[in-house]
């Protein structure tokens, strides 16, 4: 199977994509810039995004190189089980739409640090603002940039650094237009993302069927389930070598909930899309995103499994190698290189769209937090609306430059790209989620309790990460909470670590809050009205359909 770089037809298709996105972005920018030039309009597109634009923007910002490249690589390595991140996210989005978004909208929240300032105090908010900025720049922005550039370079043959600079520049252009431009251009990005992604999946399934002397995508899928049956189980057993990444039932009742609820409900990068809308529009957009999440494993996981089946039978033996060993993250680029001219350009555009949309969303969130929570509150409290927008634009450029400089030095390609992001974000997720969930629904939770969750949660996460090097944890293996790594050392799977840390943070916060607040309710507690959580009939029906589909999927692929 011979690789081929981009053909003239591919460049034409890619140019069409580029022109459509750029022209539409410019149209939206010119159409709406006269309406408002305030900071909230720039950062949140207040009142400007429709439900379909919110839903599309959520998916475009979420799906990036770590899914196309990293999750396909995980599909190659461990199979359909990695799809739990996508399918559990669909259910999580329903929960966020019902319980989280009403709280944010009623309290007129524009940023996550603003929520923490309003609910706890300025110290908690400032610590978390700095924390989030570091996390977004050092982990998220860099990984999206590097993995995206790696994929684009593999397909196009262009220099890796050049690809990184070009992707960053394209993302900056879109981001400088503000959330309105990002939100509406994301609709086009999602169109290319899904169309191009499905084209790659179609090719992958056809390759499998052709390789074994038949034809058709359904025959290809049937062959995959027979040739790699071990790759079609959602719940892994402790003896599975990938149990350390997806520890059995923890994906349904443990740490996976913390990953998803923190990401989709307490994350500026995501919630920002819905914070400028009314409740009905926000919920409609989030429900639309939940349906799209159900489709994502078809686009990002199945190609990785197809590449594994073909590799196991002798194909791609040299293409999958990097530095002398198999690199699962090469699975998706290898498949793209086999697409025919024109179709390859479409898939190339899909991958680029995913990377650029995610970068734009992440850069916009970085600029929002820096401008509204640090610059306006500490550096220049009397800044005008025009100055805030200008500061946000400067922050976008600075963040992207930092990402380009830092990305090549983090060893992102040494570990599976998707797992790299999940594990390192997991050091802070339990404490943040504990702080938010009690801040939402328990009025007695205090500022010192929130600080404990932030700092104590991070400290315990580090301790549990390095504990295997200090003591023998094999006694936990009987309960499924530890598993031997390649060196024979028993480690706690990171999803279980997150579960332990979350419980620790909740208990600590409750004890501290009860001790500090012995005389009654915290005056900074939010007013929660049960009527806030009532949904429309249409939303309820859509949610039940999603739940039914998830039950069916897990029942079939248990």
Q: What is the pLDDT of residues 512-555, one digit of tens each?
A: 999 887 776 666 767 777 788 899 999 999 999 999 999 999 99
Query: In this predicted model, which residue has the larger pLDDT, 81 or 187?
Result: 81
What pLDDT, on a 0 to 100 scale, did the predictor assign at position 2? 42
On the question of pLDDT at 15 being above 80, the answer is yes
Residue 75 CB-half CA count within 13 A:
31
Nearest to 372 by CA among 41, 43, 31, 11: 43
H/E stretch holding 325 = strand 325-326
pTM, 2 dp: 0.84
Helix (H, G, I), strand (E, B) or coil at 322: strand
Nearest to 186 by CA among 270, 111, 259: 270
140 pLDDT band (50/70/90 cuts)? Answer: confident
Mean pLDDT of 124-138: 85
For residues 61 and 218, the answer to whether their CB atoms sit within 8 Å is no
For residues 320 and 332, the answer to whether their CB atoms sit within 8 Å is no
Helix (H, G, I), strand (E, B) or coil at 484: strand
Query: In this predicted model, which residue has the larger pLDDT, 224 or 422?
Result: 224
For residues 179 and 45, the answer to whether their CB atoms sit within 8 Å is yes
Extract the tokens encoding 7: 């053909």
Lowest-pLDDT choice from 92-106, 145-159, 411-425, 530-544: 411-425
96 pLDDT band (50/70/90 cuts)? Answer: very high
What pLDDT, on a 0 to 100 scale, did the predictor assign at position 1? 41
On the question of pLDDT at 432 being above 80, the answer is yes
Q: Where are the beta strands (DSSP E) in 114-253?
A: none
**Domain range summary for the chain, segments of one domain joined by +:** 8-29+45-422, 426-527
* Terminal CA-CA length for the chain: 34
Q: Where are the beta strands (DSSP E) in 218-361?
A: 321-322, 325-326
Backbone φ and ψ for 484, nearest 5 degrees, come out as: -75, 135
Per-chain mean pLDDT for the chain: 83
DSSP 520: S
On the question of pLDDT at 11 being above 70, the answer is yes
**Rounded to whole angstroms, how far apart are CA atoms 87 and 93?**
10
Report the residue count for the chain: 558
Extract the tokens encoding 334: 């290898």
On the question of pLDDT at 372 being above 70, the answer is yes
444 pLDDT band (50/70/90 cuts)? Answer: confident
Q: Which of 29-43, 233-247, 268-282, 500-514 has the highest mean pLDDT?
A: 500-514
Mean pLDDT of 98-111: 85
Burial 233-263 (b: 16+ CB within 10 A, else e): ebbbebebebbbbbbbebbeebbbbbbbbbb
On the question of pLDDT at 3 being above 50, the answer is no
Rounded to the nearest 5 percent, the helix, strand and coil shares of the chain are: 75, 0, 25
DSSP 240: S
Mean pLDDT of 367-396: 84
On the question of pLDDT at 46 being above 80, the answer is no
178 pLDDT band (50/70/90 cuts)? Answer: low
DSSP 321: E
Q: Report the 10 Å Cβ neighbour count for 485.
A: 12
Mean pLDDT of 445-452: 91
CA distances from 243 to 149, 483, 490, 493, 550 (A): 30, 7, 12, 7, 22
What pLDDT, on a 0 to 100 scale, did the predictor assign at position 117? 86
On the question of pLDDT at 276 being above 80, the answer is no
Query: In this predicted model, which residue has the larger pLDDT, 465 or 539?
Result: 539
Residue labelled with tokens 């739409």: 97
Residue labelled with tokens 């579960």: 499
On the question of pLDDT at 231 being above 50, the answer is yes
> Percent of the chain having pLDDT more than 90?
21
Helix (H, G, I), strand (E, B) or coil at 403: helix
CA distances from 500 to 252, 403, 427, 450, 451 (A): 15, 32, 12, 17, 18
What pLDDT, on a 0 to 100 scale, did the predictor assign at position 38? 61
| CATH classification (class only), 8-29+45-422 | mainly alpha
On the question of pLDDT at 417 being above 70, the answer is no
């Amino acid at each position: 199977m011979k690789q081929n770089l981009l053909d003239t037809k591919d460049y034409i298709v890619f140019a069409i994509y580029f022109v459509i996105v750029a022209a539409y972005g410019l149209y939206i920018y010119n159409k709406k810039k006269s309406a408002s030039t305030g900071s909230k309009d720039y950062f949140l597109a207040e009142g400007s995004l429709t439900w379909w634009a919110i839903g599309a923007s959520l998916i475009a910002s979420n799906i990036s190189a770590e899914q196309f490249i990293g999750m396909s690589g995980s599909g190659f390595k461990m199979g359909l089980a990695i799809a739990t991140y996508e399918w559990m996210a669909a259910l999580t989005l329903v929960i966020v739409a019902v319980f989280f978004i009403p709280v944010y909208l009623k309290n007129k929240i524009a940023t996550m640090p603003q929520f923490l300032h309003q609910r706890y105090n300025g110290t908690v908010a400032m610590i978390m603002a700095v924390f989030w900025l570091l996390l977004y720049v050092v982990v998220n922005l860099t990984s999206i940039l590097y993995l995206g550039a790696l994929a684009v370079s593999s397909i196009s043959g262009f220099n890796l650094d050049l690809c990184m600079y070009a992707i960053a520049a394209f993302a900056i252009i879109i981001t400088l237009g503000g959330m309105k431009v990002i939100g509406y251009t994301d609709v086009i990005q999602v169109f290319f993302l899904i169309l191009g992604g499905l084209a790659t999946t179609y090719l992958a399934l056809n390759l499998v069927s052709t390789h074994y002397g038949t034809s058709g995508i359904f025959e290809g899928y049937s062959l995959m389930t027979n040739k790699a049956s071990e790759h079609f189980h959602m719940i892994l057993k402790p003896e599975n070598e990938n149990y350390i990444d997806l520890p059995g039932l923890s994906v349904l009742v443990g740490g996976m909930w913390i990953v998803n609820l923190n990401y989709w409900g307490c994350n500026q990068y995501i919630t920002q899309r819905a914070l400028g809308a009314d409740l009905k529009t926000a919920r409609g957009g989030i429900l639309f995103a939940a349906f799209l999440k159900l489709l994502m494993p078809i686009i990002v996981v199945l190609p990785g499994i197809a590449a594994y089946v073909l590799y196991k039978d002798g194909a791609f033996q040299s293409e999958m190698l990097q530095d002398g060993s198999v690199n699962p993250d090469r699975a998706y680029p290898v498949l793209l290189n086999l697409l025919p001219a024109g179709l390859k350009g479409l898939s190339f555009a899909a991958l680029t769209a995913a990377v650029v949309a995610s970068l734009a969303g992440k850069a916009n969130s970085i600029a929002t937090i820096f401008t509204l929570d640090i610059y306006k509150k500490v550096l220049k409290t009397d800044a005008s609306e025009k100055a805030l927008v200008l500061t946000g634009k400067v922050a976008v450029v600075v963040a992207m430059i930092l990402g380009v400089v830092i990305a090549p030095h983090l060893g992102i390609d040494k570990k599976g790209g998707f797992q790299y992001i999940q594990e390192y974000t997991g050091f802070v997720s339990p404490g943040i989620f504990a702080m938010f969930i009690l801040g939402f629904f328990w009025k007695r939770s205090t500022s010192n309790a929130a600080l404990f969750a932030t700092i104590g949660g991070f400290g315990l996460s580090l301790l549990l990460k390095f504990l295997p090097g200090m003591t023998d944890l094999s006694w936990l293996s009987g309960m499924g909470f530890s598993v031997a790594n390649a060196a024979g050392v028993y480690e706690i799977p990171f999803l279980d670590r997150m579960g332990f840390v979350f419980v620790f943070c909740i208990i600590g916060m409750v004890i501290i809050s009860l001790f500090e607040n012995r005389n009654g309710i915290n005056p900074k507690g939010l007013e929660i009205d049960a009527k806030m959580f009532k949904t429309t009939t249409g939303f309820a029906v859509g949610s039940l359909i999603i739940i039914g589909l998830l039950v069916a999927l897990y029942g079939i692929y248990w």
